[in-house]
Structure 1
Amino acid sequence: MSESIKTSAWQAFFAPLQIKISCSLLVVVLLAVLIGPHLAAWEYDVIHWDAIGGAPSKEHWFGTDNVGRDIFARTMMGGRVSLLIAILATTVSFCIGVPWGAVSGYVGGSTDQFMMRVVDGMYAIPYVLIVIVLVVILGRNIYLLFIAIGAVSWLDVSRIVRGQALVLKAAPFIASARAMGLSEFRIVTRHVVPNVLGTSIVFATLMIPGVIISESFISFLGLGVQEPMTSLGVLIADGSKNIHSSPWQLGFPTGFLTILLLLMTTLGERLRRLVVGAERSLL
């Protein structure tokens, strides 16, 4: 792709004012979760017995929880953990879903039917139930949590990649690769997979918010991140227990999660529209 095409694509992406604002706010949020815990006046896991259940103040911007821990520091740390789990889980799902879908769509025939029946069978089982079973079996560990989520969230990825592979295998450059004597394995790895990565990356931006919600729900059920580490789901679960006496314990983590999801969804939807428009222009 030439530099002029790349420049035009980026200009088209950032053209709407809404996207400029969303990108700016997302950068602020990402910086907050990365450096916020280090800049906070209080540690996220330190208990302050003289500030139990304290309302928002100059000392504690978001107030304190029912054991005296600073909610601002915990929200920033929780956002970091939730985002980390989402990114790693999405990576795991792509490592499984991309090759699965590429092979299924390119090979076709009985192989395609068998591989898609496996996907359909897993679709029949409730998503959250599979994750909960894996978490119970593997244990409540932050690293095992993103593996568990990623191990069941690859189904949508495989379907999208399969659809792209079905189109690509009839493309002229694939026929040229066969004529040059390339093996089927090399065609898949060198031509099919690289050409589906663009659409897959766009899908990832829409997938990350869903993974964050899944992690939050699992943590809300008490099967997620363990204390003293925290996540947005853990904070929301703890805050819901004190919603009447200390509503800020629920309000700030929930608001932060909502803002993060809205920003990522807005950017992902914008990317999706650009990719769809580019694909239609080539037809």
Structure 2
Amino acid sequence: MDKVISRELFEKVGVDTQNSETVVRPSMSYFQDAWRRLKKNKVAMISMFFLIFIALMCTFAPMIYPVAFDTQDLMNTNQGPTMEHFFGLDDLGRDIFARIWVGGRVSLTIAIVGALISLVIGVLYGGISGYFGGIVDDIMMRIVEILVGIPYMIVVIIVSMVLGKGIHSLLIALCLTSWTGLARLVRGQVISLKSSEYILAAKALGTSDFKIIRKHLFPNMLSVIIINTTFSIPGFIFSEAFLSFLGMGIQPPNTSWGAMAALGQQQMMYYPHELLFPAAAISLTMLAFNLLGDGLRDAFDPKLRQ
């Protein structure tokens, strides 16, 4: 005699299958989850869109704006903001609005290129030092300590004397010592990670050192590297502005935000708009990068992952 088994025996007890509103979050990778959390940070997203706007304006505004950045109107020098000249004119009759975006090209180029160069050197140097350890680590870290002890102002002066003043010498001078902080950070991360079980297992299986670094160490340090690079960009912007303000950076007829602030400082008492706009460009851009860096730090924090 066949037995009939009721389907009710296989139903979950206490769960209303018809009215259940159980929400199952789709699986996502570490970076997808970080992006999801970053999008919830309104301040970081506003900062990111502001930086995109600045980059687009620096790229396309000089092409569209009808007044060239080096055109002089000697009859209306030091003129305030008008409908024809949105940010006014400087002491040589040059349009400040046009010069802001041309100067932004120089400042952002130095900041981004300098940060990328420091990123590559710092990651390679710190990774090699931390991974091999021993006498290699001792020698490499002593070199870093010597470089850290040299004030970057002295480096800038020496490089300027050898190569002359300009964007190339300024970029070289800033990059000579800026990578040391990231190298120390990467070294510490590598020393912490290389004693992990999965690294020891990879070594036991005969995996090459290059593959261990590329497949295991670098991906686990990527979030720290991205955050550090984001925070280093404002430092480059400030350094360029400071050195150009002292007359050791960008030279005429080229311009940058720091060079514009140096010229505006001389007219500050009577024509404050000549200092206000380049100073605002420097301050707002640095603030946006710092706020975006804070957002990335929170987004990549594994303790906040849900």
Same fold (TM over 0.5): yes
Give the Cα–Cα distance (whole angstroms) in 2 for the partners of residues 53 and 176 of structure 1.
70
What's the counterpart of residue 124 of structure 2? Answer: 99
Q: Cα distance 1:273–1:3, how it changes in 2: closer, same or farther (>3 A)? A: closer
Partner AA of 2:104 in structure 1: G
The question of whether the paired residues in 1 share the 8 Å contact of 2:44 and 2:294 is answered with no
Q: Secondary structure at the match of 2:285?
A: helix
Give the Cα–Cα distance (whole angstroms) in 2 for the partners of residues 92 and 17 of structure 1.
30
Partner AA of 1:262 in structure 2: L
Q: 1:64 aligns with which of 86, 89, 100?
A: 89
What's the counterpart of residue 172 of structure 1? Answer: 197
Partner AA of 1:225 in structure 2: I
How far does the alpha carbon of each residue in 1:9-50 deviate from its partner, in whole angstroms, 9 at most, with x for none? 212111132223222322222222221222222111112222
What is the aligned-residue RMSD (CA, Å)?
A: 1.9
Q: 1:141 aligns with which of 153, 160, 166?
A: 166
Give the Cα–Cα distance (whole angstroms) in 1 for the partners of residues 289 and 194 of structure 2.
32
Give the Cα–Cα distance (whole angstroms) in 1 for the partners of residues 32 and 226 of structure 2.
19
> Residue 238 of structure 1: CA displacement?
0.8
Residue 108 in structure 1 maps to residue 133 in structure 2: yes
> Residue 146 of structure 1: CA displacement?
1.6
What's the counterpart of residue 293 of structure 2? Answer: 268
Give the Cα–Cα distance (whole angstroms) in 2 for the partners of residues 235 and 180 of structure 1.
59
Residue 86 in structure 1 maps to residue 107 in structure 2: no
What's the counterpart of residue 236 of structure 2? Answer: 211
> Residue 249 of structure 1: CA displacement?
0.7
> Residue 90 of structure 1: CA displacement?
0.9
Query: After TM superposition, where is structure 1 displaced by more than 6 Å over at least 4 residues in a row?
Result: none
What's the counterpart of residue 273 of structure 2? Answer: 248
The question of whether the paired residues in 2 share the 8 Å contact of 1:131 and 1:152 is answered with no
Partner AA of 1:66 in structure 2: D
The question of whether the paired residues in 1 share the 8 Å contact of 2:244 and 2:258 is answered with yes
What's the counterpart of residue 15 of structure 1? Answer: 40
> Residue 73 of structure 1: CA displacement?
0.5
> Residue 4 of structure 1: CA displacement?
5.4
> Residue 258 of structure 1: CA displacement?
0.7
Q: Secondary structure at the match of 1:270?
A: helix
What's the counterpart of residue 182 of structure 1? Answer: 207
The question of whether the paired residues in 2 share the 8 Å contact of 1:51 and 1:64 is answered with yes
Q: 1:159 aligns with which of 175, 184, 187?
A: 184
How far does the alpha carbon of each residue in 1:152-207 deviate from its partner, in whole angstroms, 9 at most, with x for none? 10011101111111112112232233223233344335543343233112111100
Give the Cα–Cα distance (whole angstroms) in 2 for the partners of residues 261 and 12 of structure 1.
23
34-43 or 82-91: bigger deviation: 34-43
Q: TM-score, normalised by structure 1?
A: 0.91
Q: 1:45 aligns with which of 70, 74, 77?
A: 70
Greater helix percent: which structure? 1
Q: Cα distance 1:131–1:180, how it changes in 2: closer, same or farther (>3 A)? A: farther
The question of whether the paired residues in 2 share the 8 Å contact of 1:86 and 1:212 is answered with yes
Structure 2 gaps, min length 5: 1-26
> Residue 124 of structure 1: CA displacement?
1.4
Partner AA of 1:238 in structure 2: L
Give the Cα–Cα distance (whole angstroms) in 2 for the partners of residues 27 and 36 of structure 1.
13
The question of whether the paired residues in 1 share the 8 Å contact of 2:45 and 2:292 is answered with no
> Residue 55 of structure 1: CA displacement?
1.1
Give the Cα–Cα distance (whole angstroms) in 2 for the partners of residues 5 and 92 of structure 1.
26
Q: Secondary structure at the match of 1:213?
A: helix
Partner AA of 2:272 in structure 1: P
How far does the alpha carbon of each residue in 1:36-73 deviate from its partner, in whole angstroms, 9 at most, with x for none? 22222211111222221111111111111111110010
Q: Secondary structure at the match of 1:243?
A: coil
72-81 or 34-43: bigger deviation: 34-43
Q: 2:264 aligns with which of 211, 233, 239?
A: 239
Give the Cα–Cα distance (whole angstroms) in 1 for the partners of residues 218 and 46 of structure 2.
33
Structure 1 gaps, min length 5: none
